[in-house]
Structure formats: C-alpha cells, structure tokens
C-alpha cells in the first residue's frame, strides 16, 4: 500500500516526500490498541492509510469518550511537537498506517515547509471541527449527531463500512445504547444505511450529506451540496406571474 493514500503525504511535493519516505515504516494497527496515553511523549507519528484512531478523554470515574477521530486525512501525534499528549490515542478501526520516529521528523521538518504547513492546517481544521462538535452535542438530536459522526468516519476510511456494535458506538459517543439503536433504526428505515451484527454500512452517503446538520461542514475542505428548491426551476418563476 502506498504511503500516499494518506492525504498529507499525497499532497507533498516530491522533494519533501523523498526526504520522508525512506523513514516511513508500514505497521498494522489493531482495534483497541493504544498508541500512547495521556501524559506520554509520543515516540512516533502515525500516518493512517486505513486505520482510524480515536482521540479519547478518560475521566477519573472510568468514563471515556471519543472527542475526535483521526484517519487518512491527517496524522496522529501532533502533540509530540508541543509537549506531553493531552489525550489517549486508541485505535478504533483496524488497518494500516505508516509511522516515523518523532526524533527523525523533527530533524526533517525544517526542510519540509509544505508538510509543516499542511500539518498545522490539519490541526486547525481538527480544532474547528472539535469546537463545532461541542455545539452539535448541545443543540442537535442524537440522529443528527450520528449522521455527522458517520460522515466524519467515512472521510477517514477507505470503505463505507463502520465495524462497531451499537454498544461500542454508545460508549464512544457517551449516549445510551437505546438512543443509538433508535437513531440507527430511523436511518435504516429511510434506506440510508444497512445495519448488521457489528457493522454499519452507509449505502446512500448523498442522502446523509443532504440531511446532516451544518456542524459536519465546519472545517471541511469541500463544499456543502446545494439543496435545490422547486422554485429554482425557471418554470416556477413563470407560474408565479400567471
């Protein structure tokens, strides 16, 4: 698998990619694996090409919640350049990633200004999306939040399938299992998704994008599709003047 499946690496100029590529080590990340813990100084930075990694916040009472997810559009380990990690990096979906030692990347970054800028832009988008997620959790229904969460997941994976049970989704997002089951059931009734044991398959992404709240589009590099009204057609204006 090419490292350039990862979007940060894909957009590097050849001069910078050739500096980094010899130091990239392909690794398989397993579901449930912790790449580093809160308070750790990460030793490696990861460029996912198929795996999805959750940014987990752990509470003293044992409760944990996923606050963000990282995949092939970004890298895991931004925190290594600022100090100890403020989160636990937990592999949510098994898959491949390329890793490079932080010490090596620190040495190469002064010669890779495009990579440095892209990584900071990626971090900025993550902060914008994370901030909007707080708003979404307070103002939108579980169903709307599920749509946003599923679309963000698909943005970070290669397949339209999310391998998680209802209970796992509930634990990650901090909802009751019954609420997750109800929301998924409504989406399945509309034909947007197919739910099987341990998997959620998105079969109509366009429908989800058309119905998801604006929170999903905050920080995106793509444009929200325009919802066409019956008044957009010239014949509608003609009817108005009859």
SS (H, E, C) 57-120: EECCCCCEEEEEEECCCCCECHHHHCCCCCCEEEEEECEEEEEEEHHHHHHHHHHCHHHHHHHH
CA dist., res. 128 & res. 140, Å (int): 17
Is pTM beyond 0.95? Reply is no
The string of pLDDT tens digits covering residues 87-112 is 999 999 999 999 999 999 999 999 99
**pLDDT band (50, 70, 90) for residue 217:** confident
The string of pLDDT tens digits covering residues 27-61 is 999 999 999 999 999 999 999 999 999 999 888 88
Q: In the chain, pLDDT over 70 holds for what percent of residues?
A: 90
CA dist., res. 50 & res. 177, Å (int): 27
Residues paired with 46 in a beta bridge? 76, 99
Residues paired with 58 in a beta bridge? 64
Mean pLDDT across the chain:
87
CA dist., res. 108 & res. 242, Å (int): 69
Q: Lowest-confidence range among 11-20, 52-61, 125-134? A: 125-134
Note whether 177 and 170 are within 8 A (CB).
yes
- Judged against a pLDDT cut of 60, whether residue 19 lies above it is answered with yes
Note whether 187 and 193 are within 8 A (CB).
yes
């Amino acid at each position: 698998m090419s490292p350039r499946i990862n979007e940060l690496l894909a957009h590097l100029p050849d001069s910078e990619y050739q500096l980094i590529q010899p130091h990239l080590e392909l690794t398989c990340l397993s579901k449930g694996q912790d790449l580093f813990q809160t308070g750790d100084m990460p030793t490696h930075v990861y460029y996912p090409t198929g795996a999805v990694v959750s940014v987990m916040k752990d509470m003293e009472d044992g409760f944990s919640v996923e606050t963000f997810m990282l995949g092939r559009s970004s890298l895991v380990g931004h925190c290594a350049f600022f100090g100890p990690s403020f989160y636990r990096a937990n592999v949510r979906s098994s898959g491949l990633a390329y890793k490079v030692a932080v010490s090596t990347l620190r040495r190469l970054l002064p010669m890779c200004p495009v990579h440095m800028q892209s990584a900071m832009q990626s971090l900025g988008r993550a902060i914008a999306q994370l901030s909007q997620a707080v708003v979404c959790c307070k103002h939108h229904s579980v169903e709307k939040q599920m749509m946003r969460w599923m679309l963000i997941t698909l943005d970070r994976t290669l397949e339209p399938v999310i391998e998680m049970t209802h209970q796992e989704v509930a634990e990650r997002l901090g909802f009751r299992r019954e609420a997750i089951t109800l929301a998924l059931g409504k989406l399945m009734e509309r034909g947007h998704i197919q739910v099987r044991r341990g998997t959620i398959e998105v079969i109509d992404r366009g429908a989800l994008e058309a119905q998801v709240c604006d929170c999903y589009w905050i920080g995106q590099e793509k444009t929200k599709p325009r919802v066409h009204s019956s008044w957009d057609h010239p014949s509608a204006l003609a009817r108005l003047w009859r």
